[in-house]
Structure 1
Amino acid sequence: MEKSVSVESIRQQAEGYFQRGEFFCSEAVVHTINELLGWPYPEEVVKLASAFPIGLGKSGCLCGAVSGGAMALGMAYGRKHGDPMNEKMFPVSAALHNHIKEMYKSTCCRVLVKGYDFTSTERKAHCVQITGEVAAWVAERLLEDPEIAEKIEMAEK
């Protein structure tokens, strides 16, 4: 699997789900990464992401795409009851947060959409772009991890 092609296709897939209205930001990221990972979780796992759009249930706080990205990272690095915390979990989720904050100057939904009419096509395009960026960033990190990349490669066969 050629990483650059895969990362761009992941970006486009997540953006497409949101652009077409099939999912909101957090749901698009979770669904896209679950598919990338070869469906380790049933499609219904996206329901866990349904409370996060528009900054956690329309509260305007943490960007839903970032929340979805953190959940998607948990698909790869999370733990079950009784397991120790995966040493990669906290650093990679913090790096996602820091990447989006550096790129967009915030991870707060109301700050990210400030100056946009919320119902405008411009605001939606901006949020679609952030959603694609999160999905691509997560996919790139997962593909850089030899253990995860091997699982993805095996799931494709």
Structure 2
Amino acid sequence: MEKRDAKPESESEALIASVGARARNLFETRQLLCAEAVVSALNHGLNGGLTDAQATALAAPFSVALGESGCLCGALSGAVLASGLLLGKEQPYRHRKAMRDTARQLHDAFKAANGATCCRVLSKKVRYDKKSHLQQCADLTAQAAEMAARLILDERPELTAQADNRFVDRRQSAIGGTLLRLVHFFSR
């Protein structure tokens, strides 16, 4: 019986890691910004029900620290948005308190891991080093996606079986990401 219990846990951990890696890839290839990448990876990977365009539209204002205000980290914002989507999908009015609790847990865990939730504070040391800044944001994007996925799957473990593993396991190159970005831009 112990082996049966261990298998779903390892499946969940593998899925969590894949969601984080997918969010990182979407950000690193510049297909999506931080909040967009987190929401997209979680929504698509855990079958949140939004189209890619809807997920991007929902998250876009939160990217780059709340619309370039420098405030709340976009990756954390995306994690909170996606957790609300996935935890509140069924009977949202009944689960509002749980969703607020999850938002607080994400905030507290992110702050404990990184020392801050404010983008200005997080990026202060790498602000003038574009490569380091991009790497730090990619790391925060993956981390936030993993934190949210872990909390979501703790509450809704059935989502592990419903996950779109092909999506979360897919990786694109920088060139592939650029081509997809151009396709999206010109298909308006």
What is the TM-score normalised by the length of structure 1?
0.88
Range 101-110 or range 83-92, more displaced: 83-92
* 1:42-82 residue CA offsets vs partner (Å, 9 max, x unmatched): 22222111111221111100000111011001112237999
TM-score normalized by the length of structure 2: 0.75
Higher helix share: 2
What is aligned with 2:99? 89
Q: Distance in 1 between matches of 2:108 and 2:163?
A: 30
For 1:118 and 1:70, locate their aligned partners in 2 and report how far apart those are by CA, in whole Å.
Answer: 28
1:66-145 aligned at under 5 Å gives the runs 66-78=76-88, 83-118=93-128, 120-145=130-155
Q: Deviations over 1:71-124 (max 9, x none)?
A: 001112237999344331111110000011111111000000002135611011
Task: Work out the CA distance in 2 between the residues paired with 1:94 and 1:139.
Answer: 15
Indicate if the aligned counterparts of 1:79 and 1:86 stay in contact, CA closer than 8 A. Answer: no
1:26 partnered with 2:35: yes
Higher Cα radius of gyration: 2
- Residues matched between the structures, number: 155
What are the ranges of 5 or more consecutive residues in structure 1 without an aligned counterpart?
A: none
The 3 A distance-change label for structure 1 pair 116 and 155 is closer
Cα distance change of structure 1 residues 85 and 22 upon mapping to structure 2, 3 Å threshold: same
| Residue ranges of structure 2 left out of the alignment (5+ in a row) | 1-7, 166-188
CA contact (8 A) 2:153 2:159 kept: no
1:35 counterpart residue number: 44
SS in 1 for 2:158: helix
CA contact under 8 A between 1:52 and 1:67: conserved in structure 2?
A: yes
When the two chains are superposed, the root-mean-square deviation of aligned CA atoms in Å is 2.2
CA distance in 2, matches of 1:130, 1:60: 15
Partner Cα separation in structure 2 for residue 81 and residue 142 of structure 1: 15
1:24 Cα deviation from its structure 2 partner: 0.4
| Amino acid in structure 1 at the alignment position of 2:161 | E
> Helix, strand or coil: the match of 2:76?
helix
Question: Which residue, out of 128, 142, 150, partners 2:158?
Answer: 150
Looking at structure 2, the residues matched to 82 and 134 of structure 1 have their Cα atoms a distance apart, in angstroms, of 22
- Identical columns (%): 30
